[in-house]
Structure 1
Amino acid sequence: MPIPKPTRPAKRLLLRDVVFAKLRDAIVSGELQPGETISESEVESWANASRTPVREAIDRLAAVGLVDVLPQRGTLVAELDPQRASSSFSLLGELLAVSSRIVVPVATATQRDAVARRTRSVRSAAQLVATDGVFDVLVGVIGNPRLRQAWDELVPHVLRTWTIAPEHAPTLDELDLDGFAAAVTDGDGDRTEVVLRRWFDAHDAHPRTVLDAPAQETI
């Protein structure tokens, strides 16, 4: 019988994007530690890729600030920058608050339920920003490509800092998770924005002695 044609073409992943994602995830998780040297030849073997896509992936990592390419020293994993992580998180909060107010009321019940389900399972701030976490799903519902680009560039700095140095992560105390889930489920964009802003505002008011403290050296 004839094979049905797909409704949309499958997205083809370029090897450079695959290498970039593998290196980014290794940096964010702490598998590649701050200050560690990245050998292009080792990456080629590790990712089963040729020099060109590896070079392109490293250039992209440098562009978003996850590695430093230094003359005579090669490529090093960037040091942790808690202040940058804090600023990135605040910017993402503003983008999410404004966007959710507009989009939540017009999202489908299925989309709203997906966000609410993720919210009810959250046990740490990192779970909010992780891949397939609450905010990642919300960004997908919003569907704005510029927001997605900003999210993909800023979140690695946030999640990496919270993963390697969890003392810099905010608490969930100020975020009304039940209220947020209920607001999303009800399609109440105004209430969704209010709950988000309260938490991000509380994060911005967090004592700077904690947020700006130098990262602990890792062994």
Structure 2
Amino acid sequence: MPIPQSSPKVGRSLLRDDVYARLRDAIVDGTFSPGETLRDGDLAEWLGVSRTPVREALLRLAASGLIVARPGRSTVVAEMEEDAVRHARDIVAAMHGLAARLAVPLITASVIERMRQANAAFAAAVESGDADSAIRADDDFHGALVEASGNPSIAMVLGQFEPVVRRAEFLRFVSIDRFAARERHDALIALCAAGDAEGAARLAFDTWQTLPVAVPGQLPV
């Protein structure tokens, strides 16, 4: 897919993290397709920034496995590989399980309410078939426990590996059992409210492990 022509420019004060987030999300949601060549000049023009933060973002994306950088040749969006998705999923599942185990003893009513609201938004997005909104709501739901865990290292690890999982999830949104995911969210909320840290950790881990790793049209299902 060509660089979008209609995207609004972002402010010159855009932080490096914001440039990274914009490019990461464009890969995750399919704006930039697997195998597509990314040129830092084109990306800088699209975002309205200099090439420096774009180049830094591309290095981070390469470390996450979302792009393949070939020095002196080209930078392309990585193809989806089943093993890479599976490995990332295993790490993400372990981190979310740990987050739940740490968060439950510290859980507050406001965290529980945030999870309920996020799950309601997730359910509404699922009903309407809005993959982008559903995944954002799911991020918010699980992010509540990550933040409540009090361990910033969990978020750092997830920041590297979760985009790979989300990309696969986004590409096969229609085939994921999203209604079961909503029910698992409800069960996780109940375990957190009851103070069952081990039960919440197991369910959080299992929830991520249920995500399929194959991508229709690219990988065998």
TM class by shorter chain equals 0.7 to 0.9
Please state whether the residue corresponding to 2:156 is helix, strand or coil: helix
Question: d(CA) in 2 for partners of 1:88 and 1:172?
Answer: 23
For 1:7, the equivalent position in structure 2 comes to none
For 1:188, the equivalent position in structure 2 comes to 196
Change in Cα spacing, 1:102 to 1:18, as seen in structure 2 (3 Å) is closer
Aligned AA (2:28): V
Question: d(CA) in 1 for partners of 2:120 and 2:216?
Answer: 33
For 1:78, the equivalent position in structure 2 comes to 78
Question: d(CA) in 2 for partners of 1:150 and 1:182?
Answer: 26
Write out per-residue CA displacement over residues 103-157 of structure 1, whole angstroms, 9 at most, x where no aligned residue: 2122221112212332354346984676743212221221311100111111110
Aligned AA (1:160): R
For 1:161, the equivalent position in structure 2 comes to 168
Please state whether the residue corresponding to 2:116 is helix, strand or coil: helix
* Greater alpha carbon shift after TM alignment, 166-175 vs 74-83: 166-175
For 2:150, the equivalent position in structure 1 comes to 143
For 1:33, the equivalent position in structure 2 comes to 33
Please state whether the residue corresponding to 1:58 is helix, strand or coil: helix
Normalized per residue, the structure richer in helix is 2
Aligned AA (1:23): L
Question: d(CA) in 1 for partners of 2:22 and 2:135?
Answer: 21
Question: d(CA) in 2 for partners of 1:31 and 1:134?
Answer: 24
For 2:218, the equivalent position in structure 1 comes to 216
Q: CA RMSD in A?
A: 3.0
Shift of 1:180: 1.5
Aligned AA (1:106): L
For 1:102, the equivalent position in structure 2 comes to 102
**TM-score calculated relative to the size of structure 1:** 0.76
For 1:3, the equivalent position in structure 2 comes to none
**TM-score calculated relative to the size of structure 2:** 0.75
Q: Which runs of 5+ in 2 are unaligned?
A: 1-12
Question: d(CA) in 2 for partners of 1:108 and 1:88?
Answer: 30
Contact map agreement 1:112 1:187 (CA 8 A) in 2: no
Contact map agreement 2:88 2:164 (CA 8 A) in 1: yes
Question: d(CA) in 2 for partners of 1:41 and 1:118?
Answer: 37
Please state whether the residue corresponding to 1:30 is helix, strand or coil: coil
Matched, 1:117 2:117: yes
Identity of aligned residues (%): 30
In the TM superposition, what are the counterparts of 1:48-59 in structure 2 within 5 Å? Answer: 48-59=48-59
Aligned AA (2:189): A
Shift of 1:70: 1.6
Q: Which runs of 5+ in 1 are unaligned?
A: 1-12
Question: d(CA) in 2 for partners of 1:41 and 1:101?
Answer: 44
Shift of 1:90: 2.3
Contact map agreement 2:105 2:197 (CA 8 A) in 1: yes
Contact map agreement 1:81 1:161 (CA 8 A) in 2: no
Contact map agreement 1:100 1:189 (CA 8 A) in 2: yes
Aligned AA (1:165): R
For 2:18, the equivalent position in structure 1 comes to 18
Question: d(CA) in 2 for partners of 1:89 and 1:37?
Answer: 26
Question: d(CA) in 1 for partners of 2:41 and 2:205?
Answer: 46
